[in-house]
Amino acid sequence: MLQIESLSVAYGCIQAVKGIDIQVAQGELVCLIGCNGAGKTSTLKAIAGLLPFKAKQALFKHDVNLLNMPAHQRLRHGMALVPEGRGVFTRMTVLENLELGAYSRHTGKQASKADLANDLAYLLDTFPRLKERLNQTAGTLSGGEQQTLAIARALIGKPDMLLLDEPSMGLAPMMVEKIFEVIQQVHLQGMTILLVEQNAHIALQIANRAYVMDSGLIDYTGLASKLINDPRIRETYLGQA
Ligand code: ATP
């Protein structure tokens, strides 16, 4: 689904990402973890088209070339970003936020009202908290509910792949667990996901594979189930000896 070779990102003379390779297969949940300032968000923003980057190769769905492609065109090709801080429209209702997401549908043809109603009903069954709050303004939702709304809004656009940037950011621990249940559920329904997450422990619990970044480079990579038991990862990234 995603094939990135030798990706570099620089802010002026600061080299934030130093030529890394990332692959995500269809249906995989891959996480990018690492300490503060490791380059995780810069990597995700580059893949999403929000930062200029260099790469030997950057392909989406085998033949969509991401090099020099503006962010909005990625959406049209089926790549959706849920940004750090969620980006929901706080003065609009939950329903209006979801309807906006439907406009970004990338299938090329306008979805019929019946299709949209079906998709909305399916999403609201998946996220019952949103169903209960459909006519509430998004600004009155809790942080976790806003994050769920941001994910649901991306999903109603029917993307082929989701990029999630720090979904646990600013959430209470119980909310973090809830949001990771939501992400896991979305993945189990077949979505391909690249997840950037500061909370390595919880990310490794739901991911298939992980890339561990340090100082702009990939330090380790492998199956999440292996990394979570690796003594070096436990000590450095999970705070456990
Ligand atoms: P965090 O989890 O703290 O966001 P991160 O792994 O996502 O960390 P990045 O935010 O990608 O890391 O930052 C990577 C490096 O790039 C850091 O050294 C950071 O200081 C630097 N950096 C990030 N954004 C900018 C910017 N707008 N201008 C200059 N340097 C930046």
Q: How many CA atoms lie within 13 A of 42 on its CB side?
A: 25
CA 52 to ligand 1 centroid distance, Å: 14
- Ligand 1 atom at shortest distance from the alpha carbon of 42: 11
pLDDT of 197 reads: 94
pLDDT of 60 reads: 96
pLDDT of 84 reads: 80
**Ligand 1 pocket member 16 (CB < 6 A):** yes
Among 2, 29, 11, 1, smallest CA distance to 216 is for 11
pLDDT of 129 reads: 87
Burial code (b: 16+ CB inside 10 Å, e: under 16) for 18-46 equals bbbebebeeebbbbbbbeeebbbbbbbbb
**Ligand 1 pocket member 36 (CB < 6 A):** yes
pLDDT of 94 reads: 94
**Ligand 1 pocket member 13 (CB < 6 A):** no
Q: Cα–Cα distance between 20 and 133 in angstroms, integer?
A: 42
Chunk the chain into consecutive blocks of 10 residues (it has 241) and report each block's average pLDDT, rounded to whole numbers: 97 95 97 93 95 95 91 88 84 91 63 79 86 94 88 89 91 85 92 94 95 94 93 78 52
Tell me the whole-structure pTM to 2 decimals.
0.90
pLDDT of 111 reads: 65
Residues in the chain: 241
